[in-house]
Chains A and B, each alone.
Chain A
């Protein structure tokens, strides 16, 4: 990975930005909820422009059973283990949100054709920890923790599953959930002894689909939580109210000395920024507010639904997706209090701005994104979650999802959809599937944390 003698990842975000260009991507694809009785799978996609199979799926690793709903994934090791020469970024932990199974995939032995190394059965996790519905995976130096969104019966708030580096269940990571009502994403910044977690809903609430009325009944999140990372317990909660309905992806600055971080409030379509002030107190503010858009056939304007945000490795740009509107935005956050819109592209969405891109009908909207370490290539997928897809974009069942690439101008700002890259998951061998989160073999802009 690097010229250093040490463990996985990079000595710093700046060093990560100089790594060789990514040549492969790992992207999950699902059949859960599609009517096709096949397992979800992990795709390997060729992104080397010099290769004859550029922009194609070159291998597919099926999970052992159906119905997992693969969603997010994380590495066994990242730059947090850079100083440990015994560690290797080799295994991708790929959870099934619905089944609670954790798939440990060996991507190191043959990076072009990963194999299944181990499965931790969801039934074992439920029995030993009373947790279900795994979501975010982060490596924590010597351990791995996974946010689990429910108890063994799908009720909130769930907790955190701790795995050893040998992929054995250690137990619950947290010492207390305090008064936290829901779980979802988390990110830690050890130099400030802090972890921040966000809130989706109980698995029994979000898994069957989105009943908007349940937001008003407080069954969806609107708070973020600041943890004492070493004590493994929540310390402070911010009630975001109407500005922060359904706060999802949590991103700290990659710079480990920085206290600045961001969360995208999906339903409010706002970006919330937090930081530690001169007195050492955490503060928050809203820095982006995406307005609702009128739709010719809807009685009410459509909210953007910010389903993901991401920061470039140099912490200069913030990217967000409005899954229902259909746009990806790039903001310059050099001054994190003043986000400046510097780029915008359209693909799919309900507003009809870009129904077809690169010859492929885009069903769904821009959803998960992953940015290259140098900040120049943003890979985008279009499916959110099987049941929610079925509600908002029912044609995805026959059309499948797709992956596109956006070229990003890191000097002056700006974005442009690459005209030569498209992966049409509507043409998969077992029928139309849907693609979600992507990882790069050498780490990416949401995988690595510096201690």
Chain B
């Protein structure tokens, strides 16, 4: 069993030892961290957190578009750690999560993965 350390930058730098096989939401909640969540299948964005450093496997997430991913967002209910990570959690970390879609459109490469056009493909 491999464990990693998850540091919550916006909760006083509190650090938690987590199992790499479990979703981060589950590991952190089991250790008493009070986090928002909703669907628990990676589709609803309620549990989004901002990754300051580290690496996760979040292949199962369906909620984030590529701009949100480029801004560091991860979906805690399905993301599993692949290294030690530092995160900002909760709604306080959602400053770049929401945008007015009429005022701030996405570029083709910033759409969700299944419909995005990669930057290099446009050439």
Contacts and interface: CB of A to CB of B under 8 A. Distances in A.
A203 B62 CA distance: 10
Contacts of A299: 103
Contact of A217 (B94, B105, B111): B111
B28 interface: no
Nearest to A203: B43
A119 interface: no
A208 B44 contact: yes
Contacts of B92: 35
Given A204-B62, A299-B103, A209 B38 contact: no
Contacts of B100: 391-392
Contact of A211 (B42, B90, B101): B101
**For chain A, which range describes its interface: under 10, 10 to 19, 20 to 34, or 35 or more residues?**
35 or more
B38 A67 contact: yes
A357 B103 CA distance: 27
B44 A207 contact: yes
A324 to B, nearest CB: 9
A273 B111 CA distance: 34
B45 A209 contact: yes
B121 interface: no
Contacts of A67: 36-38, 46
Residue in B37, B101, B111 with the greatest tally of chain A CB atoms within 10 Å: B101
A245 to B, nearest CB: 14
A207 B99 contact: no
A386 B100 CA distance: 14
B111 A214 contact: yes
Contact of B39 (A66, A100, A392): A100
Interface of A is mostly: loop
B62 A213 contact: no
Given A154-B44, A390-B98, A394-B98, A98 B39 contact: yes
A35 B39 contact: no
Contacts of A213: 101, 105-106, 111
Nearest to B37: A67
A33 B46 contact: yes
Interface string A286-312: 000000000000111010000000000
Nearest to A151: B41
A299 B36 CA distance: 35
Contacts of B37: 66-67
A217 B64 contact: no
A67 B40 CA distance: 10
B52 to A, nearest CB: 19
A445 B101 CA distance: 33
Given A154-B62, A208-B44, A99 B38 contact: yes
21 contacts: A34-B91, A67-B36, A67-B38, A69-B46, A99-B40, A132-B39, A150-B43, A152-B41, A153-B43, A154-B41, A207-B43, A208-B45, A209-B101, A211-B111, A212-B105, A214-B111, A387-B44, A390-B97, A391-B99, A391-B100, A394-B98
Interface of A: 32-35, 37, 66-69, 98-100, 132-133, 150, 152-154, 203-204, 207-214, 217, 219, 298-300, 302, 386-387, 390-392, 394, 397
Given A207-B43, A211-B101, A298-B102, 9 more contacts: A32-B36, A35-B36, A98-B38, A153-B41, A153-B43, A208-B63, A209-B45, A387-B45, A392-B100
Instruction: Give the top 10 A-B pairs by smallest Cβ distance, nearest first.
Output: A98-B38, A35-B91, A154-B43, A208-B45, A204-B62, A204-B43, A207-B44, A208-B63, A212-B101, A67-B38
